[in-house]
Structure 1
């Protein structure tokens, strides 16, 4: 896919470093500053910026599961009036992620049409992939963070004093269990579907696809007697899994050849997915038309660019999770 090289946008398959021996390896993200209530450093000593209403902006795509995580947290944490949002077109073209109309990026930046403009505004000689989500500082005209796992934890705590929302999706007592599930889900499900879909050898594809379904089988068994991944509380681990589940049957089952089973074939996973979809305003962050249009526009794995009509899905159908003990969301101080 195209990428930036020394600050210049280069079209074509530039990001070939993500392929090794026919297997897909995701390139690490680059920007890792943090936002805290008072601008103190982040949890690992990252440079910190203060939480301020209107200062920050999310650049996202409804197609992308990594961006979808941040959309969910922006909604759940009541940040729609605090953090602006700009949504890219679903298909990634020659200019990478683009916007239908010029996007206001703050007083120090010109309106942008291509996401890579944010990257070079932050680092003029940037080399690497250009990805969503981006958490942007409108005041200083630079990227704060482009790692979704970081961004959801920023949104989880940084703005609590501004919103009065103290829901905690990464509570201290559950962190070891959350991290354990995050590791399994990221390696085998979130990234596993991409390793299957982007594989360039039969063995790499089969290894990736089998790992996806081995993990899904394990999660299905766990959800038989646990309301959520970490137990009785809904945590970030659930939302990190949800964004892949909700895309699975419409995209990964077909375009990425993860077709041993559908999520609809799993009783517990499909009911769990519907419960999460129906939580608060989460449904507004899911756009299946964007998801299908985006994934089926990847020309090297779908040369005809034909988008399938199905499958028929009803995420608002009743779920059966109420019989399991659950306490909802952990409330922090």
Structure 2
């Protein structure tokens, strides 16, 4: 039997009968165990082709990183590949739809974690930033990965957009302290009446008013704040609100809806979006190509 090259190895099909459903392990310590950062003179420095991002088309946190990577001009500097969108008890895996692991030839994303920490017993998540030079995982913290891609590679690539400029960083993080709980994390639980839904809809109302006066969340600058919000907006009407359990749809906030469509026209947003990867079965896709007046 011919030996398969690392670039052709794929995981076996999803098998919950044998492996069970994936469960986030109830282990001590933080959920995101790897939080390494790319710095000027530390363990992880910015070099061309050193890093690889393991992502998932379905995952909003991976989506943030993919958009930032494109806007930072890093698509030829930091490589990226995608796991299959369905998992069993083994966690995320590399299968035919999105191809094998091009870096290590692993069949399961768990192997990335185990190669870094022997006997790893924590949560296997995407995105995950891999260091080719050290053959180890740097981070599975999307927040830190996004900031580092936006800021640490300026000597290697010219960004299309500087999404984390020093003068706006505190305002970006201030927005995140509001929109993170209210929108990005709250949307998943907003299908049930209660304070979580109320906070989400109140945030949408406030964002609609804000965007009536502003092109982006922080004026004329497209920033990480917009990226972080947008990945939730693009999933809203085919995900948490697919069957209009929360409200009639994003279109009831005309300025917010127009803003979201305007961002979708930017290639970095549009080309990293695969609706089929995250839309619920039977969900009707809104017209993201409708004319935008902003």
Alignment counterpart, residue 233 of structure 2, candidates 245, 263, 286 = 245
Could you give the per-residue CA deviations for residues 171-193 of structure 1, whole angstroms, max 9, x where no partner exists?
22222221111111111111111
- What runs of 5+ residues in structure 2 fail to find an aligned partner? 1-18
**Contact 2:64–2:228 (CA<8 Å) still a contact in 1?**
yes
**Hey, what's the Cα distance between the residues in 2 that align with 1:16 and 1:30?**
12
1:221 aligns with 2:224: no
- What runs of 5+ residues in structure 1 fail to find an aligned partner? 1-9, 19-26, 42-47, 297-306, 322-333
Alignment of 1:1-333 (within 5 A): 11-12=20-21, 14-15=23-24, 17=26, 28-36=31-39, 38=40, 40-41=41-42, 48-100=43-95, 101-106=99-104, 111-165=105-159, 167-196=161-190, 206-254=194-242, 259-292=246-279, 296=280, 307-308=281-282, 310-321=283-294
**Hey, what's the Cα distance between the residues in 2 that align with 1:71 and 1:209?**
28
* Higher strand content, 1 or 2: 1
Report the CA distance shift for 1:286/1:13 in structure 2 as closer, same or farther (over 3 A): closer
Once the two structures are TM-superposed, the CA of residue 281 in structure 1 deviates from its matched residue by: 3.1
Once the two structures are TM-superposed, the CA of residue 133 in structure 1 deviates from its matched residue by: 0.3
**Hey, what's the Cα distance between the residues in 1 that align with 2:22 and 2:162?**
41
Residues matched between the structures, number: 271
Where 1:136 maps in the other structure, the secondary structure is strand
The alignment's TM-score, normalised by the length of structure 1, stands at 0.75
**Hey, what's the Cα distance between the residues in 1 that align with 2:133 and 2:124?**
21
**Hey, what's the Cα distance between the residues in 2 that align with 1:161 and 1:13?**
41
**Contact 1:29–1:147 (CA<8 Å) still a contact in 2?**
yes
Report the CA distance shift for 1:227/1:61 in structure 2 as closer, same or farther (over 3 A): same
Report the CA distance shift for 1:281/1:34 in structure 2 as closer, same or farther (over 3 A): same
**Hey, what's the Cα distance between the residues in 2 that align with 1:207 and 1:258?**
15
RMSD: 2.2
**Contact 2:25–2:123 (CA<8 Å) still a contact in 1?**
no
163-172 vs 147-156, which deviates more? 163-172
**Hey, what's the Cα distance between the residues in 1 that align with 2:23 and 2:288?**
38
Once the two structures are TM-superposed, the CA of residue 97 in structure 1 deviates from its matched residue by: 1.2
State the partner residue of 2:12: none
